[in-house]
Structure formats: structure tokens, C-alpha cells
Amino acid sequence: MLEIAIPGRETIQATRLVLDVNGTLTVEGALLPGVSERIEELKRKLVVTLLTADTFSTAGSIAETLGVEVVRLACGDGATQKLSLVKAWDASSVIAIGNGENDALMLEAAALGIGVLQAEGAAASALLGADVVFPSICDALDALLSPSRLIATLRK
């Protein structure tokens, strides 16, 4: 479990990290440098799950590289599917990271929603649904590894 106490907010007791793949962990389907090492550290505290439409058909190999589970979305409304899964895992114990239109609802529902704005851009709805936005996935993962970084930004 990863506990994050932010003044003025309910303490987050997270058990799962849910990650979008395309545009979040990857650029054009290729895993970004530095992600593997950070995920390895976070797996000591959280169950890590990839949620993806698998646009580039690389999710299986990425999940294998990271040693995490992957859930491929069915064709159709990915936003609703991601939201349903986050709720099924108890949204109050989920940290979600994403950048796309289909991530907005899960980011808003999660105990902590993190948006990332990288080379493939970010949907405005994802940024609005997030609690905090970082310029890279490595910065976002570093904030989870050192949660005190979140306090100044998110305290009320």
C-alpha cells in the first residue's frame, strides 16, 4: 500500500496503480526510458495494471517487460470501460495516470488522478479530470516514489 497524506484532503491509501499505455508510458508504442526502473520500485507497494486499447499492438510486450498485468479494452467506449474497471477495483484505493480523452473519467474517479503531457500531447478533458499534471511519466512516477512532492501542489 502507498499512503499519501495531503493536508486538507482525505489520506489516500492506494493499493493499485492504473496506467494508460499510449502517450503515457510510450511514444508511438515504444516504452519511454526510465519507466521500467520506476515501475519496479512501485510494484513493491502497489498492484500495477495497464489499461489500453493497444493502438500499436505493443501492450503485451510492455506488460511482460514491466512484469505487470494488462487489460486490453474492447472496441468501443474506452472511457467507460476504464471507469468501470477503476470503480470495480475501488476507486478510493486507485491511483490512475493517463493523457487521453478516454482517460478523463478514470482520472476523475480515482483517489488520485495524474495527467501527463508528453510528446503525443494530452486531451484537455484528461488534464481537467486529473488532480495534478506532470510534464512526463517519469516525473509523475517520481512523485509517487516521493509523495511529499505532491503535498505543496495538492494541499488545500
Q: Which helix (H) or strand (E) holds 118?
A: none
The whole-chain average pLDDT of the chain stands at 96
User: pTM to 2 decimals?
Assistant: 0.97
Tell me, rounded to whole angstroms, the distance of Cα 106 from its chain centroid.
9
Q: Are 49 and 19 in contact (CB under 8 A)?
A: yes
What tens digit of pLDDT does each residue of 118-131 get? Answer: 999 999 999 999 99
Q: What local confidence, expressed as pLDDT, does residue 55 receive?
A: 87
- Between the CA of residue 95 and those of 58, 61, 63, 76, what are the distances in Å? 23, 23, 18, 24
**CA triple 38-56-104, angle to 5 deg:** 65
pLDDT at residue 70 above 90?
A: yes
Which domains does the chain possess? 12-154 (3.40.50.1000)
